[in-house]
Amino acid sequence: MAPRSCKRLSCSLYTRRAAIALCLAVLVFAGFASAQNTNGRIIGTVTDTQGAAIAGAKVTVTNTGTNVVSETVTNNEGYYQVLQLPVGSYTVTAEHAGFSKSVTAATPLDINQSLRIDVHLKPGSVMETVEVAAEAAQVETVNATLGATVTGAPIQNLPLNGRNTLDLALTQPGVIPIADDIGTYGTSNGGSNGNGGISVAGGRGDAVTYLLDGGLNNRTTSNQVVFNPNPEAVEEFRLLENNYTAEYGRNGGGTVTEVIKSGTNAVHGSLFDYVRNDAFNANTYFNKADPTSLRPRPVLKRHQFGGTVGGPIILPRLVDGKDRFFFFFGYQGQRQTRTVTPPEVKITTYTPAEVTGDFSNFQGAGPDPGVVAFLQSHPYYQSDPTKQSQAIIDPTKIDPVAQKYIAAGLIPSSSAGQVFPQASEKYDVNQYLGKFDFYATRNDRIALTLGYNKEPILNPFFGANVSGFSAANTTWDYFGNIGYTKTINSFTLNELHVTAQRWYQTTLPSSHPPTNAQLGINVQSDDPFGPASLSFASGMTVGFDPNVHWKADNNYAISDTLSWNRGRHTLRFGGRFGIMQENTVYAYQTNGIFYFSGPDGIGSGNDQADFLFGASDEFDQYSKAPSNEHQKQYAVFGQDEWKATSRLTLTFGLRYEYTTPQADTHGYSFSILPGAQSVRFPNAPLGFVVPGDPGAPRGWYFPDHRDLAPRLGFAWDPMGDGRTSVRGGVGIFFDTLNGWMSDWATDEAPWAGGAAVVQDPTLPTNPLPPDGPSTILSHPYESAQAVDPFPSQIPPPSNIDFYAAGFLPRLGPGNNFVDIHLKTPYIYQYNLSVQRQLTNGLMAELGYAGSSSHNLLTWIDQNPMVLGTTNRILNQSQGLPSDTYGFMPTFAGRNNANYNGLLASLTKRQTEVPILGNVFFTLAYTWSHNLDNGSGFNSRIAAIPYYNHHQFYGNSDFDLRQRFTFSGGWELPFGKAWAGGPKRLTSGWSLYPIFFVQSGIPLDFTAGLRQHSGDPGPSGAGDAEIVRANQMVSSVHTLDPHSGYWFDPNSFQQDPCIAAGTCSLGFYGTYRRNSLTGPKRANLDIALEKSTNLVGERTKLLFRVEAFNIFNHAEFRPPSAISVLSGTFGQITGTYDPRILQLALKLTF
């Protein structure tokens, strides 16, 4: 720092050099900027006993675990701050001539915390030392960010189901669970890749930034976490919810930061083993629901075991790491076998009579009228009029392909016409991590974090919801981060991070059912393994859905941040550069999938009978194709934290971000540019272009260079004592686009084969003739007068014939498109909160968080029908034949969202309380409302016309209005209650609960229609899938879920105009999206622990009993069927976990 008395020339030179240095720091490390600050700082003032500021006082901060020392001096106002301190416990020593030395006892410092420790020096000799008890307030008086920190005691002791550290976020206000409610099922697996599944302050689940020791920890494709360390290895957990400072970016849906433990001068560690067995557990509600068919409890056998160790690096005669070099190592393994069920717990299937063609007593109501009518109009399948009227198909006329599926045991049946699929899943984990801290000098710290995780899973329901279709899914996670912190002087500090991470997964079928050729299905394939899948409108799905054959997401980043304390200003400048790679071999339905759409199909209206007739209305098939999507990300930021007065701090920040468009390294992308003719593929229809064509983007969309994000925050200490703060702020945030977007569009025309064949019985070559057999299942392409485009030729020749390749007619349904004018999603955030320290260790906070989100990613149809016609907009506007382009699902930034939430918490740090003993807890309450017109990039059907995307604006899919949680720990005072009892028996008992109660999630219902490319459908826009059910009553009353139904299914129905073909243009049904909610949830997890000292106070043996859902309360899942045509519509068919017990033994030293 330049002295105030410098001459003008030297001051000018100093200022110029400083400015140049700052600019170079920003420019050199300008890059993709997400937060990397996992440290904290200690601030305060040094005064005399009269409250007068003491300038020039020496302040020494010492880490009690490593004895690493940081020093600074107070400014003219007596103010000091020590920047970028690793989390840990610190003493603060202050001294000045004429005053006694003051030493403040050890105080914990959390992630990103501005820990305030004020010092009062008494007159006396500097040789005298006054020791001061630590009474630092938890109140944040500097930073305006709304967030929370979870420290060591909750991390190590709370009963986390599956030992997933990310579940700690759910104990805080403003955080809503969403994963279980949109796709996962069963007991938490607890592996490293627990993907979070959270919405933070109204944000989407894929809009959270994850950081590990300052390094980015997000996947490229899904934006979920890559490496999730086990709780034994985590020192602290920090959640930023709303309006974080300019150094944080990349996403606007919250930031989760985890810090791995570090070694200290004392060797410390643990060994642990957590055991689950179904013998300890309760049975599920539905297994016990019918006493006449009692089924055993699901199998669950799990061991989670491992250990940690940390300390100084000591190599005899080579290295003595005391006070300088430290290590930490951790391992967790898992061996698990469990019974799992698909999301649809109850599947509608055939009875033994129906699987032979007898529908004379369909669902106990006599002959199926649709089957009767079909047999009477198609006598080939039954020539006897009497049996026609009884809906009995001639067994010898059942489609030959269907007969082979049945003979191979691929089609389940039961006497009740329903099955409850269960199968065994095997799930293993091996996770290793290491951290090394090197203090080369007092001013130079290097930290290296390494992580490796492998998870092989045998999934018994991979694409099917019936047994027989299992797959081996193996995931590898790699994480590496190196950080270098340089203290330039007492006022200037620089932090550099280099991060590399990789997520790699392979998926291979593990069972071997018949192939298409063996079943008599005459199609070619890029991967001829297994049969074509079958999708029934009533809910059953048969076959594999491998999606991804293998996939590798790579992320590399370098970031730098310079912190400069200048008087009342703390300036931070920095940036980040990152490279994102998404390499995939995509293999979605390479052997095809037949759809049987029931009332919306081409057969009898009974989807199961239609399979026996061979009456599939659509066949889709895709290629096995490579993709190599790469991006670069850049960002720079500047921030000024100005201490305007001793009580008021203002933070001004500005951030700029730019991410290059997603682009395949081989140019395997395509776009719609109306009026343009492709040069690379001259036979492509007008408007279809690829990279290299005039006017086409280089990747999937054009760049967006306008992502400028200002931030403003304030923190006011109204009393001036650090025990009360009023904080608030506003800011703009941007979201990195989800990588699934381009990933889903890579294996398609013209780069790879893809087809959606729709059958039309009105054609002269009727594939479903009245007097002969169907050829649809045996020859799906020929029966629709289409060309089989497989096997694929990648890349195709430039003169490829789009008709001969099967891309035409109706190019579109086989492709997923991206809007070439896609813009970066942006979010306005604003918050206001009040914190108050009630007692030492007890703090209350009441806050408001709001956000308004725009350009959120979603699906639309960019080529809907011209209302009242059978032609589509892109065909008509370019003068093309009506069958050139069909339905075109497109990723576009058309969604908006608004969130308003009241967030309240009462937090107590771990301290002794009279009578009660050692206690810590967090009470959290959220009251919020979340509105949007689509809650995720894949949360709604793609058929919504581009001009009508606002029609479904309503409650978000994760609009949980209220959520209350309580988590904590209590050292039970048995020893005090029984003072004369044996100490070894009465001491060391602790209780750790997690309780929550929350509102139900919103429910959405459709009329159960399917999309047909050449059919305008009841709305006239060709978007039949999104037509809603009609709500038949003014208010839908929910029922007791124990009755089996959540609501009366008669409250909704398909509008009669659909069957009659008389719906008015623009008809979408009367049910308002997400206006009904599912059952509420309430759950208590609890752990009871007994700690016994083995050797002194340092070595302890801990025995734990953990009970999840301890009261075995039936927590009902919402109805899974969203179609009014489903046989289980309105029914409660599943629950969350029953009571599960877990035993644990742990040794700490």
Q: How far apart are CA 860 and CA 1025, in angstroms?
A: 12
Query: Quick one: pLDDT band at residue 5, thresholds 50, 70, 90?
Result: very low
Q: What pLDDT does residue 719 have?
A: 93
Please give the share of the chain, as a percent, with pLDDT higher than 70: 93
What's 392's DSSP letter?
B
Pick from 281, 728, 234, 584: which is nearest to 435 by CA? 234
Q: What pLDDT does residue 16 have?
A: 42
DSSP 958-1011: T---EEEEEEEEEE--HHHHTTTS-HHHHSSEEEEEEEEEEPPPEE--B-----
What's 855's DSSP letter?
E
Across 426-455, b (16+ Cβ under 10 Å) vs e yields bbbbbbebbbbbbbeeeeebbbbbbbbbbb
How many folded domains does the chain comprise? 1
Q: Per the structure block, which two tokens stand in for 1010?
A: 């399917």
Q: Per the structure block, which two tokens stand in for 481?
A: 């981060």
First to last CA, the chain: 45
Query: Quick one: pLDDT band at residue 616, thresholds 50, 70, 90?
Result: very high
Q: Evaluate if residue 21 carries a pLDDT over 50.
A: no
Q: Evaluate if residue 180 carries a pLDDT over 70.
A: no
pLDDT digits (tens, 9 = 90+) for 209-230: 999 999 999 998 888 899 999 9
What value does the mean pLDDT take over residues 357-380? Answer: 94
Q: How far apart are CA 459 and CA 339, in angstroms?
A: 11
Query: Do the domain assignments include residue 359?
Result: yes
Q: What pLDDT does residue 319 have?
A: 81
Calculate the CA 1045 to chain-centre distance.
30
Q: Evaluate if residue 188 carries a pLDDT over 50.
A: no
Query: Do the domain assignments include residue 356?
Result: yes
Query: Do the domain assignments include residue 1095?
Result: no
For residues 839 and 34, the model is more confident at: 839
Q: Evaluate if residue 801 carries a pLDDT over 50.
A: yes
Query: Do the domain assignments include residue 399?
Result: yes
Q: How far apart are CA 737 and CA 487, in angstroms?
A: 36
Q: What pLDDT does residue 9 have?
A: 32
Q: What pLDDT does residue 193 have?
A: 35
Q: Evaluate if residue 77 carries a pLDDT over 90.
A: no
Q: What pLDDT does residue 653 have?
A: 97
Range of weakest confidence among 427-431, 665-669, 982-986, 1023-1027 = 982-986
For residues 140 and 133, the model is more confident at: 140
What value does the mean pLDDT take over residues 174-184? Answer: 62
Query: Quick one: pLDDT band at residue 778, thresholds 50, 70, 90?
Result: very high
Q: What pLDDT does residue 31 have?
A: 37
What value does the mean pLDDT take over residues 676-702? Answer: 96
What value does the mean pLDDT take over residues 19-26? Answer: 40
Dump strand ranges (E) for 988-1139: 989-998, 1002-1003, 1030-1031, 1052-1053, 1076-1077, 1081-1095, 1099-1108
Query: Quick one: pLDDT band at residue 825, thresholds 50, 70, 90?
Result: very high
Q: Evaluate if residue 185 carries a pLDDT over 60.
A: no
Q: Evaluate if residue 510 carries a pLDDT over 90.
A: no
| Amino acid making up residue 1103 | F
CB 938 within 8 A of CB 966: no
Helix (H, G, I), strand (E, B) or coil at 810: coil
Q: Evaluate if residue 190 carries a pLDDT over 70.
A: no
Q: How far apart are CA 778 and CA 522, in angstroms?
A: 6
For residues 1137 and 16, the model is more confident at: 1137
Q: What pLDDT does residue 134 have?
A: 66
pLDDT digits (tens, 9 = 90+) for 873-926: 999 999 999 889 989 999 999 999 999 999 999 999 888 777 777 899 999 999
3-class SS string, 434-487: EEEEEEEECCEEEEEEEEEEEEEEEECECCCCCCCECEEEEEEEEEEEEEEEEE
Report which secondary-structure segment, H or E, holds 453: strand 444-459
Q: CA angle, 906 as apex, 903 and 908 as ends, to 5°?
A: 145
Q: What pLDDT does residue 701 have?
A: 95
What value does the mean pLDDT take over residues 364-385? Answer: 95
Q: What pLDDT does residue 293 have?
A: 64
Q: Evaluate if residue 19 carries a pLDDT over 50.
A: no
Any bridge partners for residue 836, and if so which?
724, 844
Query: Quick one: pLDDT band at residue 426, thresholds 50, 70, 90?
Result: very high
Query: Quick one: pLDDT band at residue 815, thresholds 50, 70, 90?
Result: confident
Q: What pLDDT does residue 739 have?
A: 81
Query: Do the domain assignments include residue 368?
Result: yes
What value does the mean pLDDT take over residues 662-683? Answer: 94
Q: How far apart are CA 622 and CA 212, in angstroms?
A: 38
Pick from 126, 131, 207, 210: which is nearest to 166 by CA? 210
Which pTM value belongs to this model?
Answer: 0.86
CB 1079 within 8 A of CB 1132: yes
Range of weakest confidence among 42-51, 390-399, 889-898 = 42-51
Helix (H, G, I), strand (E, B) or coil at 507: strand
Range of weakest confidence among 25-34, 302-311, 877-886, 1108-1117 = 25-34
Q: Evaluate if residue 1094 carries a pLDDT over 60.
A: yes
Query: Quick one: pLDDT band at residue 33, thresholds 50, 70, 90?
Result: very low
Q: Per the structure block, which two tokens stand in for 995?
A: 């309780």
Q: What pLDDT does residue 196 have?
A: 52
Range(s) of the domain holding residue 370:
347-418
Q: How far apart are CA 414 and CA 996, in angstroms?
A: 39
- Residue 886: φ, ψ to 5°: -110, -155
Pick from 50, 637, 602: which is nearest to 374 by CA? 602
- Residue 947: φ, ψ to 5°: -90, 0
Q: What pLDDT does residue 1057 have?
A: 94
Q: How far apart are CA 361 and CA 359, in angstroms?
A: 5
Q: What pLDDT does residue 471 have?
A: 87
Residues 6+ away with beta carbon under 8 Å from 658: 633, 634, 635, 703, 704, 705, 707
pLDDT digits (tens, 9 = 90+) for 255-275: 999 999 999 999 999 999 999
Give 361-370 contacts, CB < 8 A, sequence gap 24+: 362/391, 362/606, 363/417, 363/1127, 367/391, 368/604, 368/606, 368/609, 370/599, 370/604, 370/605, 370/606, 370/609
The label of the residue with tokens 């909750």 reads 154
Pick from 893, 899, 949: which is nearest to 1073 by CA? 949
Query: Do the domain assignments include residue 816?
Result: no
Q: What pLDDT does residue 182 have?
A: 33
What value does the mean pLDDT take over residues 750-765? Answer: 79
What value does the mean pLDDT of the chain take?
Answer: 88
pLDDT digits (tens, 9 = 90+) for 933-976: 988 877 777 888 988 888 889 999 999 999 999 999 999 888 77
3-class SS string, 713-727: EEEECCCCCCCEEEE
Q: Evaluate if residue 11 carries a pLDDT over 50.
A: no
Query: Quick one: pLDDT band at residue 547, thresholds 50, 70, 90?
Result: low
Query: Do the domain assignments include residue 358?
Result: yes
Query: Do the domain assignments include residue 379?
Result: yes
Pick from 926, 711, 962, 719: which is nearest to 835 by CA? 719
Burial of 815 (0-12, 13-18, 19+ CB in 10 A): buried
Q: What pLDDT does residue 179 have?
A: 57
Burial of 20 (0-12, 13-18, 19+ CB in 10 A): exposed
What value does the mean pLDDT take over residues 754-764? Answer: 79
pLDDT digits (tens, 9 = 90+) for 438-490: 999 989 999 999 999 999 999 888 888 888 888 889 999 999 999 999 999 98
Q: How far apart are CA 214 and CA 228, in angstroms?
A: 14
